[in-house]
């Protein structure tokens, strides 16, 4: 082999060795020694991190290496100084700095009389949690003073130890008051002065103790020994100081100023500092470095440093400020040391996937079905609205704003889904519920049972006309709902029940005197007269009865329930209709002819007057045959001159005999079998109002007994008397005809009872 070949071979071997030799790694910089560009990072082995610094930058002209003047350090002879105090260590994360502080002493041998120590640190404070104040010696006491220039105040602390000339009780390692004493240091002490004193004369010496010492020392950095009483072998001790940035500014104040804010990226600012002023900066959790350095804190890669709870480093994925644990492919779990990872059960995953898919399909199907049902319900409401004449109502209602159309949902909500506890009335035509609208208005909602598709136009006309009726004795129609199969009507709510209840309920009857009965009868007659003659189109109620006369809180009469009512065209006097009404109140002529006229309401009102007078129900199978029908019974009492015996107990007195007889005469007129012979409701209302007015004048009843006897004499004068006759036939024929009609009622009529 030639020399040249040998050299080439040697070079190759050296190269391979170098490649095989591991390259020494440089320890990652933890950030605590970060300094500004061109600035010294240490002095004599002590790190100098920013915001501290030594002088100016060498690469950036006139750029200081420190944040503020109080952090300017010096490094003569490779020793780090703050002023004339040696700096031993700087801790950025805890905002602390260790410095070497001399001790204070006083000796009695005449060689070294007294040494006091002044610690002038206006920008730093002695850490109260990291230091102790200690005095060593027999018969010694020491003080630690602190002054504040801001308010010229001074504070002090200290301790004393006495041996009284004997060191027998002094023990090594014990600084409890004999030979050595120690106290905690109050917080926020700066500009301090340490002074040691002795209780003995300076010229007097003790063989075991020549000097007294006082000093501040970092905890765990001094241990007392008995030999220290002769001479303390230390001149200085390390002392921990707290520091902060921002002078007297808070985080918010400094942040507003912008350029002076010391906390950089990924940091937190804290005003609560031991110094009592300024603020300190700290790296956020998951970050490390120097929070004051312009680069801020950097993310900690927990996966590389092992600061994680994952099963292994391979299961760890680093994130900004944190990390996540994952399981390898084919395994499941949280990936942490506590929970670990498990092999996947593919069959279970298939079942779970299939179940999830089935649930998704089921939920989707349900949503589609609900959507379909919702659209179907909307279309059904639209169908009912049109079927019930909603379009006609909207078209005709443009001329009047009195008719309000309610939605089915609002009425359902108002009645708590038609709660049976809110039912206030039932009848042949429907059920009445008490409801509360959204605006807190209390209403009565009538849910009908019967619907006639051929009468839609007439129903809408009735709604429009009834909503325009404004009479104090007629229940106000507020509006309707047309979105249901059967239209619903909304009325004002009348709170005090029906006239029927007050007549036939013994508990209420005691408070229902004749004066109230006469007033209610007069108000009812006035309301019916208004419907017959004063309304824009005459209205026949067709179901006048005491149960349809409501009483409000003032016992004012309110005629209600127009479910069977019909309009009478202005050019007609009667309507041919199917017979409807309540048994006992029905007009016999209407039952025979099916011709509905205003006089049908007059007859029914006559029954109500008879009901008010006698207190008996219009029809009852429980009574004897002659008392079964109230109209027949009442007319027989008038004819046979026994009216007073038929009156309800408690309404008759000496003052109202005449009024009762006159009302009875009006009732007999209303109960005539032939409608033409009955008075109109207007005439009835005028007569009743006249009786009420006359009762208010005393002169009418001055000869009450005489007038009553004369009136009683007039009642049965002949069968042709117009006071109670029902036609032009004789008495015998009249009675026979009436009885025949009553029997026909029982055979031919099968109508719903009172509502």
The domain that holds 452 is classified in CATH as 3.30.200.20
| Whole-number percent of the chain with pLDDT over 90 | 39
553 and 483 assigned to the same domain: no
Mean pLDDT of 427-437: 81
Q: What's the burial of 651, exposed, middle or buried (CB within 10 Å: 0-12/13-18/19+)? A: buried
In the structure encoding, which two tokens stand for residue 392, read together? 């006609």
Q: Is residue 627 part of a domain?
A: yes
Q: Is residue 470 part of a domain?
A: yes
CA distance 19 to 278: 54
In the predicted structure, residue 282 carries a pLDDT above the cut 90: yes
466 and 523 assigned to the same domain: no
At 191 the pLDDT is: 87
In the predicted structure, residue 76 carries a pLDDT above the cut 60: yes
457 and 576 assigned to the same domain: no
Specify the higher pLDDT residue, 265 or 166: 265
536 and 465 assigned to the same domain: no
Specify the higher pLDDT residue, 202 or 479: 479
Q: Is residue 650 part of a domain?
A: yes
At 378 the pLDDT is: 75
What number of other Cβ atoms are within 10 A of residue 7's Cβ?
Answer: 10
456 and 504 assigned to the same domain: no
At 116 the pLDDT is: 85
Q: Count the alpha carbons within 13 Å of 124 in the hemisphere toward its beta carbon.
A: 25
Would you call the peptide bond into 51 cis, given omega within 30 degrees of 0 as the criterion?
yes
477 and 623 assigned to the same domain: no
In the predicted structure, residue 101 carries a pLDDT above the cut 80: yes
At 621 the pLDDT is: 66
Could you report the per-residue pLDDT of 215-231, keeping only the tens digit for each?
999 999 999 999 998 88
Q: What CATH number did the domain enclosing 160 receive?
A: 2.60.120
Mean pLDDT of 100-106: 93
592 and 698 assigned to the same domain: yes
At 578 the pLDDT is: 57
CA distance 694 to 700: 7
- pLDDT mean across residues, the chain: 80
For residue 669, give the DSSP letter: H
576 and 440 assigned to the same domain: no
At 148 the pLDDT is: 75
At 230 the pLDDT is: 86
Band of residue 627 on the pLDDT scale cut at 50, 70, 90: confident
CA distance 654 to 652: 7
- Among 474, 492, 510, the domain-final residue is 492
Could you report the per-residue pLDDT of 678-719, keeping only the tens digit for each?
999 999 999 999 998 887 654 444 444 444 444 444 443 333
Q: Is residue 457 part of a domain?
A: yes
CB 116 within 8 A of CB 195: yes
CB 481 within 8 A of CB 463: no
CB 187 within 8 A of CB 274: yes
In terms of pTM, does the model score above 0.85? Answer: no
Residue 385, SS3 per DSSP:
helix
Token pair 């905690």: residue: 184
Cα torsion angle, 716, 717, 719, 724, sign: negative
In the structure encoding, which two tokens stand for residue 712, read together? 């009683």
Total domains in the chain come to: 3
CB 588 within 8 A of CB 741: yes
CA distances from 277 to 70, 153, 202, 248, 251 (A): 14, 17, 43, 5, 11
Mean pLDDT of 604-626: 84
Please give the residue range of the domain that contains residue 646. Answer: 499-748
Q: Is residue 25 part of a domain?
A: no
| Active-site annotation, residues | 543
Q: Is residue 121 part of a domain?
A: yes
CB 280 within 8 A of CB 273: yes
At 560 the pLDDT is: 84
In the predicted structure, residue 752 carries a pLDDT above the cut 80: no
Going by C-alpha positions, the residue among 723, 731, 583 that lies closest to residue 663 is 723
At 577 the pLDDT is: 56
Residue 282, SS3 per DSSP:
strand
In the predicted structure, residue 749 carries a pLDDT above the cut 60: no
589 and 687 assigned to the same domain: yes
Residue 290, SS3 per DSSP:
coil
Band of residue 393 on the pLDDT scale cut at 50, 70, 90: low
* Helix locations, 150-213, DSSP H: none
- Among 427, 461, 492, the domain-final residue is 492
In the structure encoding, which two tokens stand for residue 348, read together? 């279970």
At 622 the pLDDT is: 63
In the predicted structure, residue 24 carries a pLDDT above the cut 60: no
Q: Is residue 89 part of a domain?
A: no
CA torsion, points 645, 648, 654, 658, in degrees to nearest 10?
Answer: -80
Q: Is residue 396 part of a domain?
A: yes
In the chain the first and final C-alpha atoms are separated, in Å, by 133
465 and 411 assigned to the same domain: yes
570 and 451 assigned to the same domain: no
122-131, 424-433, 493-502, 629-638: lowest mean pLDDT where? 424-433
φ and ψ at residue 689, rounded to 5 degrees: -65, -35
At 201 the pLDDT is: 58
Q: What CATH number did the domain enclosing 570 receive?
A: 1.10.510.10
CA distance 142 to 194: 7
- Among 467, 492, 517, the domain-final residue is 492
């Amino acid at each position: 082999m030639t020399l040249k070949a040998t050299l080439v071979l040697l070079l190759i071997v050296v190269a391979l060795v170098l490649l095989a030799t591991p390259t020494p790694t440089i320890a990652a910089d933890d950030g605590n020694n970060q300094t500004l560009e061109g600035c010294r990072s240490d002095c004599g082995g002590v790190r100098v991190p920013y915001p501290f610094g030594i002088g100016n930058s060498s690469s950036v002209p006139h750029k200081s290496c420190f944040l503020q003047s109080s952090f300017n350090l010096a490094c003569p002879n490779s020793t780090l100084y703050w002023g004339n105090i040696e700096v031993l260590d700087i801790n950025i994360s805890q905002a602390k700095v260790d410095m070497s502080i001399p001790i204070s002493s006083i000796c009695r041998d005449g060689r070294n009389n007294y040494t006091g120590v002044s610690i002038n640190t206006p920008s730093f404070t002695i850490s109260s949690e990291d230091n102790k104040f200690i005095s060593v010696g027999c018969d010694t006491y020491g003080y630690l003073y602190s002054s504040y220039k801001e308010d010229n105040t001074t504070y002090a602390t200290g301790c004393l130890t006495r041996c009284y000339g004997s060191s027998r009780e002094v023990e090594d390692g014990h600084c409890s008051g004999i030979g050595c004493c120690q106290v905690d240091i109050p917080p926020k002490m700066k500009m301090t002065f340490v002074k040691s004193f002795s209780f003995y004369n300076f010229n007097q010496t003790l063989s075991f103790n020549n000097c007294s010492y006082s000093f501040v020392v970092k905890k765990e950095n001094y241990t007392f020994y008995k030999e220290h009483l002769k001479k303390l072998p230390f001149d200085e001790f390390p002392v921990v100081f707290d520091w902060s940035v921002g002078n007297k500014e808070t985080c918010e104040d400094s942040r507003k100023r912008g350029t002076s804010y010391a906390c950089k990226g990924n940091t937190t600012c804290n005003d609560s500092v031991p110094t009592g002023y300024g603020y300190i900066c700290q790296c956020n959790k998951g970050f490390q470095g120097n929070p004051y350095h312009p680069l801020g804190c950097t993310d900690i890669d927990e996966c590389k440093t092992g600061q994680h709870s994952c099963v292994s480093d391979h299961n760890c994925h680093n994130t900004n400020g944190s990390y996540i644990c994952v399981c390898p492919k084919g395994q499941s779990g949280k990936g942490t040391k506590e929970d670990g990872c498990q092999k996947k059960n593919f069959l279970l995953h298939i079942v779970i996937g299939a179940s999830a898919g089935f649930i998704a399909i089921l939920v989707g199907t349900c949503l589609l079905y609900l959507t379909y049902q919702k659209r179907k319900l909307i279309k059904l409401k639209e169908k009912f609205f049109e079927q019930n004449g909603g379009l006609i109502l909207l078209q005709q209602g443009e001329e009047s704003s009195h008719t309000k159309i309610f939605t089915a949902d609002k009425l359902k909500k108002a009645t708590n889904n038609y709660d049976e506890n809110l039912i206030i009335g039932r009848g042949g035509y429907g059920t009445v519920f008490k409801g509360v609208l959204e605006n807190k208005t209390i209403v009565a909602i009538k849910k009908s049972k019967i619907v006639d598709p051929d009468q839609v136009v007439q129903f809408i006309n009735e709604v429009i006309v009834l909503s325009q009726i404004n009479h104090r004795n007629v229940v106000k129609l507020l509006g309707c709902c047309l979105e249901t199969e059967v239209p619903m009507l909304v009325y004002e709510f009348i709170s005090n029940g029906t006239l029927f209840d007050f007549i036939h309920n013994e508990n209420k009857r005691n408070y229902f005197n004749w004066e109230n009965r006469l007033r209610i009868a007069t108000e009812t007659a006035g309301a019916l007269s208004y419907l017959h003659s004063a309304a824009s189109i005459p209205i026949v109620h067709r179901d006048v009865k005491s149960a349809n006369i409501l009483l409000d809180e003032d016992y004012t009469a309110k005629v209600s329930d127009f479910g069977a009512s019909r309009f009478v065209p202005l050019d007609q006097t009667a309507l041919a209709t199917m017979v409807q009404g309540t048994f006992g109140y029905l007009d016999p002529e209407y039952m025979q002819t099916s011709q509905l006229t205003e006089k049908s309401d007059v007859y029914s009102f006559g029954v109500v007057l008879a009901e008010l007078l006698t207190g008996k129900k219009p029809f009852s199978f429980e009574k004897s045959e002659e008392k079964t029908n109230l109209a027949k019974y009442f007319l027989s009492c008038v004819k046979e001159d026994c009216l007073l015996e038929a009156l309800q107990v408690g309404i008759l007195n000496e003052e109202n005999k005449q009024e009762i007889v006159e009302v009875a005469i009006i009732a007999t007129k209303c109960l005539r079998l032939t409608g033409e012979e009955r008075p109109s409701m207007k005439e009835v209302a005028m007569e009743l109002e006249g009786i009420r007015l006359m009762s208010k004048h005393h002169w009418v009843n001055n000869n009450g007994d005489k007038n009553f006897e004369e009136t009683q004499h007039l009642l049965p004068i002949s069968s042709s008397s117009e006071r109670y006759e029902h036609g032009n036939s004789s008495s015998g024929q009249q009675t026979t005809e009436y009885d025949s009609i009553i029997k026909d009622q029982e055979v031919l009529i099968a109508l719903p009872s009172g509502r």
